[in-house]
A and B are shown apart, each in its own frame.
Chain A
Amino acid sequence: MRAVKIKKENLFDFLEAIKPFGDLWGPVKSGDGYVLEKVTDYSNIEMSALRTRIPFKKLLFPPKFTMFKFDEKGIRSSDEELPRQVIFGLHPCDLHALLIMDNFHSLHYVDPYYRERRERTAVIGLSCFPDDRCFCKATNTHYTEKGFDLFLTDLGDFYILWIGSSLGDDMVRECPELVDEEVTHDDLEKYIAWRKKRESNFKLKLDFTGMPSIMELSYDSPLWDELGEKCLSCGACTIVCPTCPCFNVIDEVDIGGGTGERTRRWDSCMFREYSMVAGGHNFREARSERLKLRFTHKLQAFVGAFGEAACVGCGRCIGACPVDIDIQTVAQNLKGEEVKA
Chain B
Amino acid sequence: MKAETQLQNPYEPEPMRLIRRYPLNEDVHFFQVRAVDMEKALSLNYLPGQFMMISINGIGEAPFSISSTPSRPGLLEFGIRKVGNMTNRIFQLKENGIFGVRGPYGNGFPIEKIKGNDLVIIMGGLGAVPLRSLLLYALDNRDQFGKIYLLHGARTPDEMLFRNEFFNMMKRDDLFCHLTVDQDDTGQWPFETGVVTRLFGKLAHIDPKNTYFAVCGPPVMYKFVVAEILKLNVPKHQILMTLERRMKCGVGKCGHCIIGGYIYTCLEGPVFSYWDVLHMKGLI
Contacts and interface: CB of A to CB of B under 8 A. Distances in A.
Given A283-B282, A284-B282, A68 B12 contact: yes
A70 B58 CA distance: 8
Given A275-B245, A283-B245, A269 B258 contact: yes
B108 to A, nearest CB: 15
B253 A77 contact: no
Interface string B247-273: 011011111101111100001000000
B9 A293 contact: no
Contact of B261 (A70, A75, A110, A296): A296
A112 interface: yes
Interface string A291-307: 01100110011101100
B13 interface: yes
Contacts of B15: 74
A245 B255 contact: yes
Interface stretch (A30-38, A82-90, A100-108, A191-199): A100-108
Interface string A4-42: 000000000000000000000000000000000000000
B interface residue count range (under 10 / 10 to 19 / 20 to 34 / 35 or more) = 35 or more
Contacts of B13: 75
B253 A105 contact: yes
Interface string B272-284: 0000000001100
B261 A249 contact: no
A145 B248 CA distance: 35
Contacts of B249: 247, 249
Interface residues of A, number: 49
The prevalent SS among residues of B at the interface is: loop
A245 B253 contact: yes
B60 A251 contact: yes
Given A68-B12, A269-B258, A274 B251 contact: no
Interface in A290-340: 292-293, 296-297, 300-302, 304-305
Interface string B1-33: 111001001111101000000000000000000
Contacts of A108: 2-3, 251-252, 267
Contacts of B246: 274-277
Interface of B: 1-3, 6, 9-13, 15, 57-61, 81, 83-84, 87, 98, 100, 244-246, 248-249, 251-256, 258-262, 267, 281-282
6 contacts: A68-B9, A75-B13, A75-B100, A108-B2, A112-B11, A278-B84
Interface of A: 67-68, 70, 74-75, 77, 104-113, 215, 219, 245-251, 253, 257, 260, 262, 267, 269, 274-279, 283-284, 289, 292-293, 296-297, 300-302, 304-305
